[in-house]
Amino acid sequence: MLDKIAKDFDFNQRALDLGAYRSEVLASNMANAETPNYKAVDFDFGQAMKNALSASQHQSLGLTTTDPRHFGLKGSANADLGVKLQYRSAVQPSIDGNTVDMDVERGAFTDNSLQYQSTLTFLNHRISDLNSAIKGE
């Protein structure tokens, strides 16, 4: 029973994880807006979400280790989320080689924040509905 509920929330959990990571990436870009030769990075949220969901389907199969010397499935947080960071092309090149455009970063950060908040709102309503169903209301 709990497995079905957890599976129901898997999509939202992955979306929140990716949204939080994207906020970190965008905040890092904004923090380095004055750093010479810093190259702005971002990732395709939709593709990362597809990768994360397909990885979760493969992970559910699990791996059997027959020897204590076998390696487990461990990696960086980026690998776990299925994220491939890409350099953002400069809108207007700067003299010091920095490719951060604060207007683009602010817009992307705001958009990401709205998506994150809407996912939280949807998740909150879903939990409320399940809670009502459990109570028999």
Per-residue tokens: 134: 């459990």
Per-residue tokens: 60: 């559910």
Range of the domain at 112: 2-135
pLDDT confidence of residue 75: 41
Average pLDDT for 2-30: 90
Average pLDDT for 10-23: 93
In contact, 48 and 131? CB cutoff 8 Å: no
pLDDT digits (tens, 9 = 90+) for 104-131: 999 999 999 999 999 999 999 999 998 9
pLDDT confidence of residue 84: 86
pLDDT digits (tens, 9 = 90+) for 41-95: 999 998 988 887 787 665 544 455 666 666 554 444 454 576 889 998 888 878 9
Q: Give the angle 80-18-83 at the CA atoms, nearest 5°.
A: 50
Crossing angle between the packed helical segments 2-31 and 102-135, to the nearest 10 degrees? 160
Domain total in the chain = 1
C-alpha 86/C-alpha 121 separation (Å) is 29
Per-residue tokens: 43: 């990732």
In contact, 90 and 99? CB cutoff 8 Å: yes
